[in-house]
Structure 1
């Protein structure tokens, strides 16, 4: 039974048929659509913790949905209850396979793939070899110190954030057919299938998960795919590991456009060291708008809160919500 009321004031959705892929089931067959204006897809740091049962997890997911609605409505200057927003929660699908990184901040990350993620980020940010020891082995403290100086960020919180970010990205991207990756992707796809949103908003690592989910199920065609603080173009670490694989029919590989008629808009803060390289449209086909705009200073450079409350986000989503 659907608990989210439809938006009667919104214009009707397109009735154009979606492209089919014979090797994957249509999610709509088993999930009757339940209209919602938005499905939000979180980034890193959203694990609720171990030992949480399904009812409690659902309560926490609903709280996250309310929080995102409050932040987004703040930018739109409307009451939160005017938004129908559902929250696609996938962090629990990754939690069991993350490699413990230890408590020390001075040494290397212990997960080899997390080290590759950090190295890829260092290269994309232009960390000099003398600061990254030739990129062969990058101490987290050295790297975070350089990034903190470049972006005028607080080094301590940045180092904690980088450790977490590298670990979660590595867990998701470890293998194309890894159980954790497929489970996270399918969880996001199932929420979209259930609610048939006009908009999918995906932040940080969530933009990678949502990108793959929408390609895995091309019948799931929101009208707008909005990516915030996205690392989708990060070479070797993210971009070259994507499913579908970027096509290499020219001098530079190109990532796939969204299936069907979904419009893709990207927003990145120039002070966000995770949203690199900047300007996703240089790497992906079919991006309608690629905004570079300051959403926040200090350490909130990458927070979903800052992106959701920004005027650029409000201007992007407002036409789809009738506000």
Structure 2
């Protein structure tokens, strides 16, 4: 099994992530009734976070944004506004919807309003939420717009795949990396599990995928047999909760199995996704469908 992390991991590494995340995967599988079927040693980490460090090898580094005024890139501003809209839909009791000006070209004032609104949502709790969100915007933008970063991240996934890989799990931006890597993978990876995924976000993510969607439908990675997608109902990163309408293969031959979770106050947290019984069931089903397991 290969696990692909999300944003904000640039100061960690493959082995430093492994312990807690591998244990969480095992906990989720055991909660779903698969006790003894999986051990932490069966789980590998595809690590690409170091490509976002200031002095990443082969890639020009960028300073991390520290305040909303640093968002001078139109893509980052647009993504911030899209997250604001998603938060207003998910939590109308906590987050006011953007005014009419939010539909026009982003401005510094609009961006600040978007940030203030998002900090009231369940998806962005805590004192470090603003810096975290600013870093998220920049990492998503750099992945989708810098071919060198895109290639580095994908290769971090493909190098971990083996003929025995039964499941690939991708979280947040890592779900985009995993999806694109599997679309280009000639072998077999069994099943894909996406957690808190922004794959369905129109324009900023979905329409920029490789391979490009055709007629409003994204490609199904030919190397996988099944795909489960899970997200918290308040997760603004996973603004499109159901990926099936975007990625299902016509005729019912391949369908995304979509689930909505409740992760408490850490709605986007990878550990909480992994220990949820629904995630465990998705992983367990993929393992049981793998010949020889």
Q: Give per-residue Cα distances to partners, 1:135-167, cap 9 Å, x unaligned.
A: 522555422322343547536333222111101
Choose from 190, 193, 204 the match for 2:172: 204
Matched with 1:168 is: 139
- Whether the 8 Å CA contact 2:87–2:121 is kept in 1: the answer is no
DSSP-derived class of the 1:301 partner = coil
The answer to whether the Cα contact below 8 Å between 1:204 and 1:229 also exists between their aligned partners in 2 is yes
Q: In structure 2, what is the Cα distance between the partners aligned to 1:98 and 1:111?
A: 16
Following the alignment from structure 1 to structure 2, what is the Cα–Cα distance between the partners of residues 93 and 148? 27
- Structure 1 residue 189: Cα displacement: 1.2
Which residue number corresponds to residue 310 of structure 1?
A: 276
The verdict on how the C-alpha distance between 1:152 and 1:320 changes in structure 2, with shifts beyond 3 A counting, is closer
**Displacement of 1:317:** 1.1
- The answer to whether the 8 Å contact 2:77/2:111 transfers is no
Instruction: Give the secondary structure class of the aligned counterpart of 1:262.
Output: strand
Q: Check whether the contact 2:51–2:152 (CA below 8 A) recurs between aligned residues.
A: yes
1:84 maps to: 42
TM-score, structure 2 normalization? 0.80
Structure-1-length-normalised TM-score: 0.73
Alignment of 1:199-238 (within 5 A): 199-217=167-185, 219-238=186-205
1:319 and 2:285 aligned: yes
Q: How far, CA to CA, are the matches of 2:107 and 2:98 in structure 1?
A: 13
CA drift of 1:272 comes to 0.9
Tell me what 2:93 maps to: none
CA contact (8 A) 1:94 1:184 kept: no
- Distance change in 2, residues 1:156/1:73 (3 Å): same
In 2, distance between residues paired with 1:155 and 1:146? Answer: 14
Match of 2:99 in 1: 129
> 1:179 and 1:162 mapped to 2: Cα distance?
23
Alpha-carbon separation, structure 1, partners of 2:48 and 2:123: 32
For these two proteins, the number of residue pairs brought into alignment is 265
CA distance in 2, matches of 1:110, 1:117: 12
- Displacement of 1:132 in angstroms is 4.2
Unaligned runs of 5+ in 2: 89-96, 249-253
Q: Is the 8 A contact 2:182 2:223 kept in 1?
A: no
The match for 1:292 among 227, 242, 260 is 260
- Partner in structure 1 of residue 251 of structure 2: none
1:181-237 Cα deviation digits (max 9, x unpaired): 112112211211x463100000000010111111112x2322110000000011111
- 1:225-279, CA deviations, whole angstroms, 9 ceiling, x for partnerless residues? 000000001111100100000002xxxx111112145211100111111001221
Closer/same/farther in 2, CA of residues 208 and 113 from structure 1, 3 Å limit: same
Q: Secondary structure at the match of 2:247?
A: coil
SS at the partner of 2:44?
A: strand
Q: Tell which structure's C-alpha radius of gyration is larger.
A: 1
CA contact (8 A) 1:257 1:287 kept: no
State the distance in 1 between where 2:43 and 2:118 align.
34
Kept in 2: contact 1:263–1:287 (CA 8 A): yes
- The SS at the match of 1:265 is strand
- For 1:195 and 1:45, locate their aligned partners in 2 and report how far apart those are by CA, in whole Å: 30
Tell me the alpha carbon deviations over residues 39-77 of structure 1, each in whole angstroms, 9 at most, x when there is no partner: 00000011127xxxxxxxxxx412322221111122233
Native 8 Å contact 2:77 2:106 kept in 1:
no
